[in-house]
Amino acid sequence: MGRIKTAPIKSITWKLVQGHKDKLKTDFKENKAIVGSLLDIPSKPIRNKIAGYVTRIMKKEQEPKPIPRIHREPKGEMENA
């Protein structure tokens, strides 16, 4: 299980993703440099947390969405009910 991100980390990250989605990647090292250039964050651990969350969001958006399946009863069981 991963660590829970705090509300300020999440809000900063979502604003960053919405405003600069075209610049962000699915690679943590690239996102770390991009976050460092876009935001003035004096703390490396906070920058890394934001970059990690950005990476997770970008990877999640690229995953194919599963197709919902419709479960149907076989015809024989429906007639007997």
pLDDT digits (tens, 9 = 90+) for 13-64: 999 999 999 999 999 999 999 999 999 999 999 999 999 999 999 999 988 8
CATH code of the domain in which 24 resides: 1.10.60.20
Overall pTM surpassing 0.85 (yes/no): no
The number of domains in the chain is 1
Angle at which helices 44-62 and 7-19 cross, to 10°: 60
Domain interval for residue 54 = 8-60
72 found inside a domain: no
67 found inside a domain: no
3 found inside a domain: no
55 found inside a domain: yes
69 found inside a domain: no
45 found inside a domain: yes
